[in-house]
Amino acid sequence: MLLLEISLLDEASAAAEAMTFCQRASRSKSKNFFVSNGLHPQNISVIKTRAAQLGINVIVGCPKHDLDVADVFGAIFQYPDTNGEIFDGTYCWRVG
């Protein structure tokens, strides 16, 4: 029998799983996770549902104006976003 390692997660479930991975991998004590308002609405909805069960506060907004990297344990963006826009997030990345 041929076995393959593949993900059976749909896009929205994978996005929610990425959030929980960020929380486990982060050294931050924050319970806040930033979600770009450029994600597909169904992805935002699934992330919010999973976050509510885990006690995570989801902040949905514009990365350029609403993201405070010091106040979140992680963030998720879509490239290109749901409207086809290209987002330059280089100002968001924090090293260290």
* Residue 15 domain-assigned (yes or no): yes
**Average pLDDT along the chain:** 86
Helices vs. strands in the chain: H and E counts, helices first: 3, 3
User: pLDDT of 43-75, one tens digit each?
Assistant: 999 999 999 999 999 999 998 889 998 999 999
Sign of the alpha-carbon dihedral angle for 87, 90, 92, 93:
positive
* Residue 89 domain-assigned (yes or no): no
Q: How confident is the model at residue 81 (pLDDT cuts 50, 70, 90)?
A: confident
User: pLDDT of 7-49, one tens digit each?
Assistant: 556 889 999 999 999 999 999 999 999 999 999 999 999 999 9
* Residue 94 domain-assigned (yes or no): no
Q: Tell me the residue range of the domain where 31 lies.
A: 11-76
Average pLDDT over residues 69-82: 90
Burial class (CB in 10 A: 0-12, 13-18, 19+), 48: middle
Looking at residue 22, its pLDDT comes to 93
Beta bridge partners of 34: 59, 75
Residues found in the chain:
96
Residue with tokens 């963030």: 75
Q: Total structural domains in the chain?
A: 1
